[in-house]
Structure 1
Amino acid sequence: MKVRSTMTVVPTLVACLTGCAATATAPAEQAARHFYLAVESGQGQRACSLLTPEAAESLSTGGQTCATTVLGLDLPGGRARDAQIWGDEAQVRLTGDTVFLHHFPQGWLVRGAGCRPRGERPYRCEVES
């Protein structure tokens, strides 16, 4: 009898842990998706509002606004493949990109997008803070 109840508990526990992890990363994944939806629909101002202040400022160069610059970048986007969270930092891997986010009181904001791995060196990002 004990073996049967233990076998029932283990799959339930595994399912809960898997679901809990997916639930914890959902807000970061959603923030990355909203950023890319804004870019893809030509809403530069909205896209910039989803960036950290430092990342938005880094796109306001050469007399151009963040809203204009972000729409001119070649940001590949794609669907979320996986996400990881470390405290206030998150990484969301999309099919065509890697996005880095930071958690603020108002939620997750993008601090790096259009990021490509470079082996042992840090990622190279089109948008970065």
Structure 2
Amino acid sequence: MREPHRNRMRKPHRISTLTLLALLGLVLSGCASVGERRSDAERAATGFERLLRADDPKGLCTALAPETRGELEESERASCEKAISSQEIPLGGTTHRVDLYGRQARIVLAGDTLFLSLFPDGWKVVAAGCTPRPGRPYQCTLQGG
């Protein structure tokens, strides 16, 4: 009677070891994509900057995270396309730094800081026109709730 019990104990142990190895593989393969995620986030930020320079309200609204877009429309009591035009978002210029925090990114540009989040359809701008305040949160012109 004890022998089958020992076999059952070994099997779960083997399964947990295999599970652990599989999870470790996922973590290690996830590390390989950090460079890709960083590049994608930076590309989204430079795309947002390009849309700002082109004065493309529709494109800018598409680049915003859903909550940010909703907050903008609610606070301005206008469609995103009309409301985004009234925002004083500075042109950021060249990228100085890209920081990733899981599915979040901070893109520090020469004249602006953007915060982005990764959604199923790509990186979206959560906040723009952000300036650092030592010891306090960033002050942003445009941000989600």
Normalising by the smaller structure, the TM-score range is 0.7 to 0.9
1:24 Cα deviation from its structure 2 partner: 3.9
Residue of structure 2 equivalent to 1:90: 105
Q: Which amino acid letter does the alignment assign opposite residue 86 of structure 1?
A: Y
Distance 1:88 1:40 in 2: 27
**Bigger Cα Rg:** 2
Contact kept, 8 Å, 1:99 with 1:110, in 2: the verdict is: yes
Contact kept, 8 Å, 2:76 with 2:83, in 1: the verdict is: no
Q: Does residue 99 of structure 2 align to residue 81 of structure 1? A: no
Q: Does residue 43 of structure 2 align to residue 30 of structure 1? A: yes
1:120 Cα deviation from its structure 2 partner: 0.8
1:81 Cα deviation from its structure 2 partner: 1.0
Contact kept, 8 Å, 2:89 with 2:142, in 1: the verdict is: no
Distance 1:116 1:57 in 2: 22
Aligned length: 110
| Alignment RMSD (CA, Å) | 1.6
Calculate percent identity across the aligned residue pairs: 33
User: What TM-score comes out, normalization by structure 2 length?
Assistant: 0.70
User: What TM-score comes out, normalization by structure 1 length?
Assistant: 0.78
Distance 2:34 2:104 in 1: 15
Q: Which runs of no fewer than 5 residues in structure 2 stay unpaired?
A: 1-32
- C-alpha spacing 1:92/1:24, structure 2 compared with 1 (3 Å): same
Q: Does residue 124 of structure 2 align to residue 109 of structure 1? A: yes
Q: Which runs of no fewer than 5 residues in structure 1 stay unpaired?
A: 1-19
